[in-house]
Structure 1
Amino acid sequence: MRGHTVRTAIALGALASLAAATGPVAASARTDSRAAAPPPVLVDCFWHAKVRPANFVLACGDGNSRLVSLHWSRWDTRSAVADGVNMVNDCKPYCAAGRFHAYAVVVRLDHPRTWKKDPHLRHYTRMTLTYKNAHPERLAQSVTYPLWN
């Protein structure tokens, strides 16, 4: 009987040691997997997922408005912020003969949602452009656009 008790005590001790050793590892693995989730993306005209792009076309049909020289100061799970330049064609007298003008702008992305094309990714669904100084004549100082899904 004594041999059985000793074996049981050794087995329980080994089991407790194993549980203690794996408990924190399992908890940190859960934390790490959540922390490793990819940040939201910005979906471009070709349905490519971009993170912190240097350039972004706003007018997909004709390319007459695009963001260039983007410098991102924030890109996290809730929003993204960049300084850059909005190159806008004045389309005078018509777009093919128009001139591009540069406007300093702050870009803000927010409202991340699950991306229909890839449900494993979240994408920003709204963009706000705030012009620092001058702005295109047909636009307000601050303009908000819904982004495609």
Structure 2
Amino acid sequence: MYKHTMVGLVTVCAAALLAPAVGTSSAAPATVKAAPVAQRRPAVPVLVDCLWHPEVRPADFVLACGDGNSRLASLRWTNWDANSATATGVNWVNDCKPYCAAGKFHSYPVVVRLDNAQTWKRHPGVRQYGRISLTYTAGRPDSFAHVVTYPLWN
């Protein structure tokens, strides 16, 4: 008797749980209109800083995260879109003479270009720029080329 009671109880509980999911045809509306699909514009890529914060059009940016011996400042962005970003600013670079702790910072005007947008591994729903190029417009640090390109961290 106990076995039949348990089977009956389980059957009743299962039916009660499934009833709302199955429903009846009379419970369904006569016509169903699909909601319009919103057109999503792809978000512009971000520039990821040393602390893994996504930034758009930052005024400054540290290039040398380990020691801070190279940073960009006074950035004025003229373009920021899905393919690239462009700004003018100043690259502050430590000459590390006689060594970095005793060195002096020097400023060099630059044109900054970001490109190579890609999926940010930390946040797959976000795109980030993968490369930065600096074009020195008036002087440059010793041993630096006129244009220097670095991969950005991902």
Specify the TM-score bucket, using the shorter chain as the normaliser: 0.7 to 0.9
3-state SS of 2:101 partner: helix
After superposing on structure 2, the runs of 4+ consecutive aligned residues of structure 1 that deviate more than 4 Å are: none
Deviation string, structure 1 residues 46-92 (Cα, Å, up to 9, x no partner):
11111000000000010000000000000000000000000000000
Paired letter, 1:147: L
Aligned twin of 1:76: 81
Deviation string, structure 1 residues 7-46 (Cα, Å, up to 9, x no partner):
xxxxxxxx8xx97xx8xx836x22xx2x2x3210001111
Q: Quick one: distance in 1 between partners of 2:58 and 2:125?
A: 20
Residue 36 of structure 2 is aligned with which of 5, 21, 26?
26
The structure carrying a bigger helix percent of its residues is: 1
For structure 2, the residue ranges without an aligned partner over 5 or more in a row are 1-30
Q: Quick one: distance in 1 between partners of 2:74 and 2:55?
A: 15
| Percent identity over paired residues | 60
1:89 and 2:99 aligned: no
Residue 132 of structure 2 is aligned with which of 121, 124, 127?
127
TM-score (norm 1): 0.78
3-state SS of 2:124 partner: coil
3-state SS of 2:116 partner: strand
For structure 1, the residue ranges without an aligned partner over 5 or more in a row are 1-14
How many residues matched? 124
Q: Quick one: distance in 1 between partners of 2:143 and 2:99?
A: 15
TM-score (norm 2): 0.76
